[in-house]
Amino acid sequence: MNYFSSNFKLGILGGGQLGKMLLNDTRKFDIYTCILDDSNEAPCKIASNEFHLGDLMNYDDVYNFGKQVDVLTIEIENVNVDALEALEKEGIKVYPSSKTLRTIQNKATQKLFYVDNHLPTAPFSRFAYTSEINEAIKNGGLNLPFVWKCAQFGYDGTGVKIVKSLEDLEGLPNVECITETLVPFKNELAVIVVRSVSGETKTFPVVEMEFHPEANQVEYVICPARIDSSLAKKAQEIALNVSNAFNHVGLLAVEMFQTQNDEILINEVAPRPHNSGHQTIEASYTSQFEQHIRAILDLPLGRTDSKVDGVMVNLVGAEGFSGDVVYQNIEIIMNMNGVTPHIYGKKQTRPFRKMGHVTIVNENLGDARKVAEQVKNTIKVISK
């Protein structure tokens, strides 16, 4: 199959920042790319060959879009899986598969998948409704504290809450959910695995994630993680096992906990390019976005090792600001060595909305982390 400067069409469901960064590579390779998104303001609109307006959760919108392309991929998990299944039966190549997406979309079935495949994860309980949790606590079947997670459509800290008392359950939506044992962990780690149609696999270096205490969003991604090499190897092996168990095609970001006893437990996965891999654009021989394209088109995978150490800082909307976005002090951070801002193209800011990221590269990881702190304290995402 000739993908380059040809009639081949790649479809991407979702037109957000991940899609925009995928388009950097489709344009580099001159691969004709079509986007489906429900917003006329989507960041992908300006860089795709074709932009289609439609609802990613609507069967007809996804099915009709998919019929016009040769290979279909995603940049967000919340898509109509029934439509993908129908397209697969009609010979459209869909990566990741509808089967994988169906499992991952629901946190309860995702957790059961790890248990069934002997993959290490924190103990959990499954509930049809949040209201059932009170009864389980009274009966002694569930102990406080625990982590409550909405089974469907939670992301970036939405649909996740640490429950320390019965009062913490008040106000939570009465939906299908899971409760997880609260794991005392030293580190939150992530490994991105890439697996091609032919089954060629590679892993990126393990990264360490530092979280914002209130927003439950990643503040810094540090590559490589500051952990022992034997532990890094263990994390990469577990991530590979997850990818193989799913028979996955494309990128799979595996988020993990490093416990106090140096066990590695899987938290959750994302079957697409991921926030924990943004630093690969500047720091790696092959970015996560290029690897995803290579994998789903069954092209040889590129090198995954880093050229230089990297730290990524998320740019999120400052509290107290909503409206037309302004990136205050961006010129100051651009004057710092090894600093590259990425602006996603969202015109409207609101508190904690992901608006961009900044990568800091340096031969010395400690220095990169210090500069990252300076960047974080200097640039502000505000409104006019």
- Is 373 labelled as part of a ligand binding site? no
Which residue bears the tokens 């969202």?
A: 346
Three-state SS annotation for 111-154? HHHHHHCCCCECCEEEECCCCHHHHHHHCCCCCCCEEEEECECC
Structure token pair of residue 221: 């991604």
Angstrom distance (rounded) from CA 165 to CA 162:
9
Question: Which SS3 state, helix, strand or coil, does residue 211 take?
Answer: strand
Query: Which residue, among 290, 340, 288, has the nearest Cα to 311 in the 3D structure?
Result: 340
In terms of DSSP bridges, do strands 185-195 and 207-211 run parallel, antiparallel, or are they unpaired?
antiparallel
Question: Which SS3 state, helix, strand or coil, does residue 314 take?
Answer: strand
Longest dimension (CA), the chain: 64
Question: Which SS3 state, helix, strand or coil, does residue 384 take?
Answer: coil
Angstrom distance (rounded) from CA 84 to CA 70:
13
- The 10 Å Cβ neighbour count of residue 252 is 29
Query: Which residue, among 241, 261, 263, 260, has the nearest Cα to 252 in the 3D structure?
Result: 241
- Is 259 labelled as part of a ligand binding site? no
- Is 188 labelled as part of a ligand binding site? yes
Question: Which SS3 state, helix, strand or coil, does residue 315 take?
Answer: strand
- Is 149 labelled as part of a ligand binding site? yes
Torsion sign across C-alpha atoms 376, 377, 378, 382: positive
Structure token pair of residue 183: 């794991």
- Is 41 labelled as part of a ligand binding site? no
Three-state SS annotation for 69-122? CCEEEECCCCCCHHHHHHHHHCCCEECCCHHHHHHHHEHHHHHHHHHHCCCCEC
- Is 267 labelled as part of a ligand binding site? yes
Structure token pair of residue 79: 């898509």
Angstrom distance (rounded) from CA 299 to CA 314:
31
Helix axes 98-105, 107-116, angle to 10 degrees: 110
- Is 181 labelled as part of a ligand binding site? yes
Question: How far is Cα of residue 285 from the mean position of the Cα atoms in its chain?
Answer: 20
Q: Which residues are annotated as a binding site for ATP?
A: 107, 149, 180-183, 188, 267-268
Q: Which residues are annotated as a binding site?
A: 107, 149, 180-183, 188, 267-268
